[in-house]
Amino acid sequence: MNGTVNGTVIPTVSGTADRTSVVGDAITWLNDPFNWTGQSGVPSRLVEHLGMSALAVLLAAAVALPVGIYLGHVRRGGGLAVVLANASRALPTLALLLIFASTAIGFGNRATVLAAAVFAIPPILTNAYTGVLGVDPDVRDAAHAMGMTPMRSLLRMELPLAVPLVAAGLRTATVQVIATVPLAALVGGGGLGPIIVSGFANRRFGQVLAGAVLVAGLCLVAEAVLAVAQRAVTPVGLRAPRRGRAGAAAPAPGA
């Protein structure tokens, strides 16, 4: 919009004002106690969101981990499996979600969990396969020379060495799923998504921004927690050295 002063047209910065208003509305929404109580409050939706995400990752891991680990161990067929898994990424998650919702699965959280699980399979399978495949052949030969069976060699020698990559795949898939689950609101599901969709429907863009901030914050927290967990489960000898304050690697214990 433009204003006029003594016949001179003065442009105004309504766009900037609108953006400022949206940010202010988002802060107001986040500070409203009403939005943090009851079954539709942020804590309840957050718990539901995390539950759906965890179930989707567990379903994906139940399928992808055994397949990836086995193919990496036998060193056959893994390339094709990885290509097929990654090809599933060409399917838009929203389209897959609507397909599931329109079938016997029905609308709601179940369709979202299945669609998110399909979305999570590629990084888990790829990292599991790559991690086991990348184990030094000398380790396998040493296990065989010690009289270990193939299964025992896999469980005692190969998997511990593959843990960093396997954990990285689970970490990536989990964060991706948390960021995808808000689509559940489009098929009548729960989680944090309804906050965003309801804001769009009622043209409350501050609420939309607040919902986006909640999802982004949850992804960042999940990433940080899983990064710590990944380091914790990684064998000490395979951990990247911590960096000192001056940028140098911290000395090893006892050095």
For the chain, how many residues are written? Answer: 255
Tell me: the pLDDT tens digits for 175-226? 999 999 999 998 888 899 999 999 999 899 999 999 999 999 999 999 999 9
Whole-Å CA distances, 168 to 46, 123, 216, 224: 24, 9, 20, 12
Other C-beta atoms closer than 10 Å to the C-beta of 21 total 13
Quote the pLDDT of residue 160.
Answer: 84
101 pLDDT higher than 50:
yes
Alpha helices in 89-238 (DSSP H): 93-102, 109-133, 137-145, 150-153, 159-180, 193-201, 205-233
- pLDDT tens-digit map of 14-44: 455 467 788 999 999 999 999 998 888 999 9
Confidence of residue 145 (pLDDT cuts 50, 70, 90): confident
pLDDT at 253 over 50: no
Confidence of residue 150 (pLDDT cuts 50, 70, 90): confident
Question: 126, exposed or middle or buried, with CB in 10 Å at 0-12, 13-18, 19+?
Answer: buried
pLDDT reading at 121 higher than 90? yes
Position with higher pLDDT, 148 vs 178: 178
Instruction: Name the CA radius of gyration of the chain, rounded.
Output: 24
| Ramachandran angles phi, psi of 146, nearest 5° | -80, 0
Q: Residue 2's pLDDT is what?
A: 52
Q: Break the chain down into helix, strand, coil percent, rounded to 5.
A: 75, 5, 20
CB 178 within 8 A of CB 218: yes
Q: Pull the structure tokens for residue 138.
A: 């000398």
Secondary structure class of 217 (helix, strand, coil): helix
Model pTM score: 0.81
pLDDT higher at 36 or 148: 36
CB atoms within 10 A of CB 99: 14
122 vs 16, 65, 150, 164, 183, CA distance in Å?
42, 10, 26, 17, 19
CA distance 234 to 225: 14
Domains of the chain in start order, with CATH, are 44-192 (1.10.3720.10)
Position with higher pLDDT, 34 vs 158: 34
Among 158, 110, 155, 127, which residue's Cα sits nearest to residue 64? Answer: 127
